[in-house]
Amino acid sequence: MAGGSRERDSIFLEVGQSLCPECRGLVHADVLVRGRRVYLRKWCPEHGHSEALVSSDIDHYRYSLKYNKPGTLPRRFSTRVERGCPHDCGLCPDHQQHTCLAIIDVTQACDLKCPACLADAGGSGFLAPEQVARLLDVYRECEGNPDVLQFSGGEPTLHPELFELLALARAKGIRLVQLNTNGLRIARDDAFLARLAEFRPSVYLQFDGLSAVVYRRIRGADLLADKLLAVERLSDCGIPIVLSATVVPGVNDGELGDLVRFALQNPRIRGLMFQPVAHIGRHRLEFDPLNRITLPDILKGLERQTEGELTRADFVPVPCPYPTCFALTYVYTGGERLTTAPRLVNVDDYLDYFKNRIITDLSPLTQTSLEELWSAGAVPGTDESLKSLASCCGISLEDLEALRDQITMIGVHAFMDVHNFELKRARKCCVHQLLPDGGLVPFCVYNVLKRGS
């Protein structure tokens, strides 16, 4: 240090773009590293400087980038480039990835008032079947023969014509339909469950923990008995389940290991997805944008709370979105000790896209299989995921079929809010909201900028 000069307290990593937390305008943002943590420092001409935590672990942040897969073009774009990203979402030709998973909110009506609802649900009205049919046609026009669709809301089980919508998706050639639900009607309505069993969608079940206090804090009511009953009833009907846990610091971040053990003990639970809480929608919980829970915090918590049965090395960033958004693994529980897919095949050999630009002897079959498994559109427990596992792990499909109930996908999906919003992540998003006007909008862009507008 010469002449008494002082060093800055952070390392400058790159220039980016984010949103002002006050006016939500697109602003300049420096990406900085301070104390091994990654921050955005923003400047808005009207509201000045603001900061937000992006990642609690610079090593994980940098490690994830090698999984940045080249984007895939959709068959057609729906909007033109006029005002620039993110205002032209729909999708426009500047977007860097096609749709892996499309979500249709069939209603904003809901039977809960969750303090942590990212959708701020509780409105009224339902999409008519003819509206949904038109949206499915748009999805097919943009993606050809799309595989995966999620019906969400609000609470989609309240839709009076839900089973007509499920039949419609099947008739339009959508092979895998997910139902994103709080599970209350499944737990309480016998006739509804019987009809649902005829369609056997994959149920994406809101399931935040295994104690009553968790649901009182996150969902506003003691729903534990309903959640456990929903899992039991779905299992009895043979309906595959993916649990979805919103993780709130000081509320349920100490139950990560318990949730993993619960999921692995139930053969009908095909997946468990952790979602660090985002400050969007109807978020009424205590929140500090400089001290939030991030994706690597959950990975470290899983390693600690499972006593090393799962480690951070078991989780591989998902390449089709921006790779800091999403990480997952596949767990096999049929042996004396659990193991994971990354312990059976060196995933880096096939999904490190920077390294693989100069390697020419990769097995196309293995790489394709791993890309299908590590995808935002992967639905655990399906024939497609089993075939991909068999291909990349060197197991015959016949042997793997017998193991269907012993394989569980566990993942962490970090959504953005106005504080940690990064334009580069939005431009690579492959989970898209299919809107009533026919637009396909990246999920976080929709929730931060478009929902309710």
CA-CA-CA-CA dihedral for 9, 15, 17, 20, to nearest 10 = 30
Query: Residue range 185-198: average pLDDT?
Result: 98
CA distance 391 to 369: 6
In whole angstroms, what separates CA 217 from the centre of its chain? 22
**Residue 250 CB coordination number (10 Å):** 10
Has residue 284 got a pLDDT over 80? no
C-alpha distances in Å from residue 452, one per residue of 342, 446, 447: 41, 9, 9
Q: Closest Cα partner for 412 from 335, 310, 309?
A: 310
Letter for the amino acid at 255? Answer: E
* Average pLDDT over the chain, rounded to an integer: 92
Kindly state which CATH superfamily the domain 67-450 is placed in: Aldolase class I (3.20.20.70)
3-class secondary structure for 161-226? CHHHHHHHHHHCCCCEEEEEECCHHHHHCHHHHHHHHHHCCEEEEECCCCCHHHHHHHCCCCCHHH
Name the strand (E) or helix (H) holding 302. Answer: helix 295-305
Say which DSSP state 157 is in: G
Task: Give pLDDT tens digits for 413-446.
Answer: 999 999 999 999 999 999 999 999 999 999 999 9
What is the three-class DSSP state of 290? coil
Phi, psi of 189 (to 5 degrees): -120, 105
CA distance 238 to 232: 10
pTM of the model: 0.94
Letter for the amino acid at 309? Answer: E
- Return the domain boundaries, the chain: 11-55, 67-450
Task: Give pLDDT tens digits for 168-177.
Answer: 999 999 999 9
